[in-house]
Amino acid sequence: MSKVFSSLALGNLKSKNRFMMAPMENGLAEVGGEVSQRLIDFFAERARNEVSIIITGSIGISPEGRGLPTQLSIYDDKFVPGLKRLTDAIHNEGGKIGAQLYHAGRQASEAVTGIQPIAPTAMPCAILGNNPREMTSEDFADIKEKFKKGAERSIEAGFDLVEVHFAHGYLLHSFLSPHSNKRTDEYGGSLENRMRFPMEVLKEVIEVCRGKVPVTIRISADEYLEDGLKFNEVKYICRKAVEQGVEAISLTAGSYDAVEYTIQPMFVKQGFLIPFGKELKEEVDVPIIMAGRLNSAQLIDNIIEEGYADMVAIGRGLIADENLIVKMRDKRYDEIRYCVACNQGCIDKVLVGQSVNCLVNARAGYEVNRNVEKAEKVKKVVIIGAGPSGLEAARVAKLRGHDVTVVDKDNRIGGKLDILAAPPEKETFLFFRDYLFNEFIRLGVKFAQKEVKVAEDIKDLNPDAVIIATGAVQTVPPIKGVDGRNVVMAEDVLTGKVEVGKTAAIIGGGLVGTETAKFLGEKGVKIHIVEMIDAIAKDIGATYIGHLFKVLEEMKVEQHVKAKILEITEEGIILEDMMLPVDTVIIAAGYKSNDSIVEDIKENFSEVYTVGDVNRARRIIDAVEEGFNAACLL
């Protein structure tokens, strides 16, 4: 058995394996911070599936320090009974659970709390655009007391571990960082001064917890800011924390000002924290816990086997597949549904006040309501379309016991996943394609290659139920000259079906347009993006947009916003105010439903469902959810 399945001591807490569920906001608590049943169900399912230690998302120790409306709180005794229900549920499933205590500091918002945020320095958060005030001596005493009370309530609520948040630009980290701490008193300037308040807080928490539960810290190994906290200082901070009595150190990275390293999108390398963990292990004699895009069973094994860290902290990977650890234990590697690092269903949704979901796992956040149960009556099910929605419907329908046939005009599966994975830094979308293919083979789903134009085309399959998952096709805007020989579709560019000249104009600055720009820019093509609204990339998530603009700038992509196209000619595009001379014009102006067969199918079969973009062009996360739900209705 791999070492990752051996036990580990964190102080007086013994884990059953080396898997921790990383602290991550999920939007499942009640507005105001009370524990909800959905939150309990979410964590209990992970504990049931062999997660050794679950760390909650950040728990607010003070009203003005809460970052989100649906974030757990512990600043009042009234929260303890709900937290006790949570810890009891995890213990009943054989797991342990830790409370991550935090104050958002300059990354809190008055819009959420109704109270002006506090910070070491009155320096707004670049992302939130807020107005924090500088902390006073009274604030220091107040916050220390609140962290202390938070630790006391954590023990009362039955938590097995208390983690103090020293990361991600929140209050304690913002003191440590020279980027956000510009104080000139004893709490600013030198590292010793910047450490002073976080260490005073840590000391209070350790004194409460000593002999009862272990205390850990989570700290950003690198803030990834030019004037931010760097690893050389972090190593010193960690040594001092261990001297105080910290029993383990959990490594992460970034802050809101470098948010892409906090919740890493596809462009951040898998296991990017490994070098930091290796080096820190030589500095301290307590366990090192490592996170950071650990979406490979081999990578996870190697981290523990090679001694790069003592434990792995997995967040999104356990949202994507609640059975990840069980599948690794049983060596069912082809069945693992890996996180693709899209951030669409987790962080992007949570940041706008919604609850967690997942592009590859429609059950995430709906652990009780969405279960795959055996069907009362076995049916012949025909699914038209082998894209993500159709394949997810086929997977779930087959698991429920139905006789399932997928029909597609192409002799391949995956739909637009290959196109999504074509641009630079997007190849991990193929993880989901490969998972769906492996399940297709493992479960014995049948396949028929044929183009379905009318209901008659599937009558020979004699279906009891039909699921239409025919997706969407690119729209062609009504522009004079759009049918010219130099006009091509973005999908054909990304699949290599067409050649592009040395210069190109992309009509449409959304997800497809900007990714096509990256795809061609990497090949040396001079790109213009033409967008009719006031900005490009309006549909791009917060953890990715900054990097996207940086790449487009490096590629010298020119943006033309609020642009009205008068005509496309062989020489290029004529705008109201200028002419863009280009070799190729690329259409990336959105999608429309490919629904031409829907009415005929509905007229000829009694049980028909439509899923995914055939209903309305959206994202894969919506398509997968609809495929899952339709299969559960069969």
E strand or H helix at 68: none
**Closest of 171, 196, 309, 173 to residue 250, by C-alpha:** 309
- What tokens appear for 581 in the block? 């001379």
Overall residue count recorded for the chain in this entry:
634
Q: How far is CA 116 from CA 350, 400, 439, 619, 631, in A?
A: 22, 52, 51, 37, 48
- How is 154-223 classified by DSSP, letter by letter? HHHTT-SEEEEEE-BTSHHHHHH-TTT----STTSSSHHHHHHHHHHHHHHHHHHHTTTS-EEEEEES--
Q: Which alpha helices (H) appear in 295-428, and where do they start and end? A: 297-305, 316-320, 324-329, 347-351, 388-399, 417-420
- What tokens appear for 162 in the block? 């208390």
Contact at 8 Å (CB) between 392 and 437? no
Contact at 8 Å (CB) between 99 and 152? no
* 3-class secondary-structure state, position 572: strand
CA atoms within 13 A of residue 224's CA, in its CB half-sphere = 21
| Residue 293 backbone dihedrals phi, psi, to 5 degrees | 55, 60
| Residue 461 backbone dihedrals phi, psi, to 5 degrees | -85, -10
Q: Which alpha helices (H) appear in 336-489, and where do they start and end? A: 347-351, 388-399, 417-420, 429-443
Site of tokens 């996943």: 417
Which one of the listed residues 75, 102, 170, 435 is annotated catalytic?
Answer: 170
Q: Which alpha helices (H) appear in 477-609, and where do they start and end? A: 490-494, 511-521, 542-554, 598-604
558-560, strands of its sheet edge to edge? 487-489, 584-587, 503-507, 526-530, 558-560
Strands 526-530 and 591-593: unpaired
| Residue 307 backbone dihedrals phi, psi, to 5 degrees | 75, 25
Q: What is the largest CA-CA distance in the chain?
A: 82
DSSP class of residue 356 equals P
Q: Is 435 part of the annotated catalytic residue set?
A: no
Strands 8-10 and 487-489: unpaired
**Closest of 633, 611, 187 to residue 377, by C-alpha:** 633
Rounded Cα distance, 465 and 469, in Å: 13
Residue 547 C-alpha from the chain's centroid: 16
- CB neighbour burial string for 65-80, b if at least 16 within 10 angstroms, e if fewer: bbbbebbbbbbeeebb
- What tokens appear for 344 in the block? 């669409």
Rounded Cα distance, 331 and 611, in Å: 33
- What tokens appear for 570 in the block? 């062989």
- What tokens appear for 499 in the block? 């050649």
Catalytic residues, which ones?
Answer: 170
